[in-house]
Structure 1
């Protein structure tokens, strides 16, 4: 254990830098991915149209389905390598590795979140849709004011879970040289030749990160759920 602590003390700044990069990519990618998921999921729940609008709608849905299938069905490591190493051959210019990381993790998150959002929207009782439409609200207004807030609450656990997954999955970005936590560990291991201590340290760091994040998200969910019981006071009467 002393050997592990000594190694951590020597390279703690490098580990810290890796943690910061990991969290930045995970936070930004989760937010962008959620926005992509909200857009895609909402589009896929629009009622079928007729005529030219119907043809356009079906085409958009096919494109979205292909996007989801592609990024859910292929490894993120391969996607990152293709974008970082392959695209410069076609563009004739280098691609920034950190920008590549943000793009790849974001569009992967978007592919998963689009299905989560679609499921969240479909889970809302149809009676609420009918009540909103009978009140004169358009589909967009119904989504914004009635269905959207409930969907956001329903998908919060899945969104938090996706964030935790992103914290761990950023480790594959070491393949393109992004200085996240796993890349920092590879650097330390290469310099110290102490592979066990190095990877034991980042195992503990990953565990601490995911545990703390999960607990924070659980507390947020509890606050959104509201109190377990409610009081309704009417004159001298009290109901719990």
Structure 2
């Protein structure tokens, strides 16, 4: 099969150096994306029409266009409009945060709407302010219900983060490309990169199940 993994074995540590870069991008993007998603979800269930229209339009645009297109627009197109260049790392974080915010907002909205309306009516009858009701009563229950969907989105974000290699971010995938160029053997380092992503996804899946079990016990 003409595979020679020993030839690239010395370069494996270099590929592994891309793991922290990938995790930083995914972690920060997920945090910002979740924050944005909460705001969008609240807009969607709001009775204020302009807020509803804005949230729906935002979600439609970011769910209706390819992620790679959004990345290229922010990295290559935004400087033409803003007048200054954006570094690859911030561009990657911004793109994934904006994109994941659109997807997660729908998940959160569905989770909120799934909560029995009687709880809202009871809270309103007791004079509980809307913000406090959402923060202390509705939102915690919604998060518990949508946790599996949130973990799936986080896993998807981890895998999709590989496209940042096209703008020069030295993540796992980019590191494997560099090793391939140095050794003139691309198949082996790409397989190693794939194995790294697979292990990361398995770890995230296990962690997600552990969190689900712990939350289930707290009921």
* TM-score when normalising by structure 1: 0.86
- Tell me the residue number matched to 1:60: 51
- Structure 1: gaps spanning 5 or more residues: 49-56, 229-240
1:191 aligns with 2:192: no
- Tell me the residue number matched to 2:13: 13
Q: How many residues align?
A: 218
- Tell me the residue number matched to 1:158: 149
- Tell me the residue number matched to 1:78: 69
1:223 aligns with 2:214: yes
Q: Distance in 2 between matches of 1:112 and 1:223?
A: 25
Q: Distance in 2 between matches of 1:149 and 1:227?
A: 12
Alpha carbons 1:37, 1:117 under 8 Å: kept: yes
Out of 105, 121, 145, the residue aligned to residue 96 of structure 2 is: 105
Alpha carbons 1:77, 1:175 under 8 Å: kept: no
Please report the RMSD computed on the Cα atoms of aligned residues, expressed in angstroms: 1.7
- Tell me the residue number matched to 1:3: 4
User: Taking structure 1 as reference, are residues 5 and 148 closer, same or farther at Cα in structure 2, changes over 3 Å only?
Assistant: farther
- Single out whichever of 121-130 and 138-147 deviates more from structure 2: 138-147
Which string of whole-angstrom CA distances, capped at 9 and with x for unpartnered residues, describes residues 157-203 of structure 1?
Answer: 11111111111001111111111111111111111111221111111
Q: Distance in 1 between matches of 2:86 and 2:200?
A: 29
User: Taking structure 1 as reference, are residues 195 and 151 closer, same or farther at Cα in structure 2, changes over 3 Å only?
Assistant: same
- Tell me the residue number matched to 1:116: 107
Out of 145, 148, 159, the residue aligned to residue 136 of structure 2 is: 145
Shift of 1:90: 2.2
Alpha carbons 2:107, 2:146 under 8 Å: kept: yes
Q: 1:29 is paired with a residue of what secondary structure?
A: helix
Poorly superposed stretches of 4+, deviation over 3 Å: none
Out of 198, 207, 211, the residue aligned to residue 202 of structure 2 is: 211
User: Taking structure 1 as reference, are residues 134 and 5 closer, same or farther at Cα in structure 2, changes over 3 Å only?
Assistant: farther
- Tell me the residue number matched to 1:232: none
1:134 aligns with 2:135: no
Shift of 1:141: 1.8
* TM-score when normalising by structure 2: 0.94
- Structure 2: gaps spanning 5 or more residues: none
Q: 1:94 is paired with a residue of what secondary structure?
A: coil
